[in-house]
Amino acid sequence: MADWAGLTHDLLLLIAKRVKVMEDFIAFRSVCTSWRTASPKDNFDILSPQLPLLMLPDDHENNYYRQFYSLSKGKVSRKLYLPDAKGRDCFPTHHMGWLLTQSLNGEEVNLFNPFSATKIHLPNQFALRALQSPDDLIEEPEFYRHIKLATLSANPSFTSDYVLVISYDTDVNYLAYWLPGDINWTLFDMDERHGGVCNMTYYKGQFYLLTWGAEIWVVDVQSRDRRVELHLIYLNNNKDLFRHSIQYYLVGVNDALLFVARFGRNRSNYNSAVDTFKCEVYEVDEMKCKLKRIHNLGDSTIFLGLNGATSIDSTKFTRAIKPNHIYFTDDWDEQNLSLECGGGKDTGVYNLEDGNIEYFYPELPLSCICPPTWVIPSL
């Protein structure tokens, strides 16, 4: 039998440099000390595209492990010791593996990378509440998310020059940002009548905000005061899209900003509050301030889930994902609060060409706190 631990350092170094998939690189480094030494993190090509992994909920037992389901392998491929995710609300910031985690009592809020176990402490929810006048504060019900959305402008693993933008609720919806080194959040100068932010994304150097008032606003993070530009795009002609049981997403695909509407129908059974039955995709025309319906993503694949959307070039993962498809996980947060066992059942793959839905993982565990969600692996 070959002694894999006895391979020469030069040979291991050559092999490690050829590993382009992050989950394989992490597995390579975990074999033994000599393999880890031959595969320093700096040698990994950070620009190589990565396929999202599905982070599963904790199993409600007294342990601190999280499992990650791999589409390329068709099984749970990783099990990581993550005490910082235990019993916490976790959702991706859509920048290479970083999660925003918050304790249910609001005392601790962090940026957390589950693959490197790196943690960045943030001002907590009480710091946010302190920014409001007493008349603006409401009492949160159980499992109520104070911070609703979070998006990064850059990967904290590689730079300290980034901005974290969050959307949070009191009696109305507010926006705030945090910069590395800040001791507190800073409120944006934004009209409170915007109707609430339902989704946001970072695209071409700016934060785009989609509101329940059928508008798209923008934040230029390069400006000194980071003021929100009001009423960038009106979607008034598409207000029929803005109604109950529809989730909305903004995502950059190639050189276009896309608006995705995910339609759900209410269910009376105890397994799922809402089931997705179709998706519609529109290209945002910023010049004409209109939405243009599209039916083909080309080679691109979209992933929808908690806190937003991301897109992947499917040609890099031909055996794992399909082009012109939308992979979605349960994102009906408020509706799932009515379920005793929580959310997680509404997961599948939508074919944008024919409208069919397939299911890639039918036995997903459920959670009231953090249902299954996509995470892009990163060191």
Q: Which two tokens stand for residue 330?
A: 């349960």
For the residues of 48-98, what is the DSSP string, one character each?
S--PPEEEPPP-SSS--EEEEEETTTTEEEEEEE-GGGTTSEEEE-SSTT-
Q: Which two tokens stand for residue 210?
A: 């989609």
Q: Which two tokens stand for residue 277?
A: 């039955």
- 43 lies in the same domain as 120: no
- 55 lies in the same domain as 28: no
Burial of 2 (0-12, 13-18, 19+ CB in 10 A): exposed
Q: Work out whether strand 300-305 and strand 325-328 pair parallel, antiparallel, or are unpaired.
A: parallel
Compute the distance between CA of residue 372 and CA of residue 366 in angstroms, rounded to an integer.
8
- Amino acid 112: pLDDT: 93
- 273 lies in the same domain as 126: yes
- Amino acid 221: pLDDT: 67
- 329 lies in the same domain as 343: yes
- Could you give the 3-state DSSP secondary structure of residue 34? helix
- Amino acid 225: pLDDT: 60
- Amino acid 1: pLDDT: 43
CATH code for the domain of 366: 2.120.10.30
- Amino acid 357: pLDDT: 93
- Amino acid 134: pLDDT: 61
- 29 lies in the same domain as 133: no
| Domain range enclosing 187 | 49-375
The DSSP symbol for 156 reads T
**Structure confidence by residue, pLDDT tens digits, 156-197:** 988 899 999 998 876 567 788 899 999 999 887 666 666 678
- 367 lies in the same domain as 347: yes
Q: Which residues pair with 229 in a beta bridge?
A: 218
Compute the distance between CA of residue 329 and CA of residue 303 in angstroms, rounded to an integer.
8
- 41 lies in the same domain as 61: no
- 88 lies in the same domain as 145: yes
- 222 lies in the same domain as 77: yes
Helix axes 22-29, 9-17, angle to 10 degrees: 160
- Amino acid 306: pLDDT: 83
**Structure confidence by residue, pLDDT tens digits, 310-330:** 999 999 898 899 999 999 988
User: pLDDT below 70 — which residues of the chain?
Assistant: 1-5, 59-62, 132-145, 170-172, 189-195, 221-244, 267-274, 332-344, 362-369
Strands (E), 114-185: 118-122, 147-152, 164-169, 173-178
- Could you give the 3-state DSSP secondary structure of residue 27? helix
Neighbours of 338 (CB within 10 A): 10
73 CB contacts (<8 Å, ≥6 apart)? none
12: left (phi over 0), alpha (psi -120 to 50) or beta: alpha
- 146 lies in the same domain as 166: yes
- 242 lies in the same domain as 370: yes
- 167 lies in the same domain as 275: yes
Secondary element (H or E) of residue 15: helix 9-17
- Could you give the 3-state DSSP secondary structure of residue 36? helix
For the residues of 306-343, what is the DSSP string, one character each?
TTEEEEEEGGGGTTT--TTEEEE----HHHHTTSSS-B
Neighbours of 352 (CB within 10 A): 21
In the block, which residue shows the tokens 């911070």? Answer: 147
- Amino acid 144: pLDDT: 46
8 Å CB contact between 259 and 281: yes
| Total number of domains constituting the chain | 2
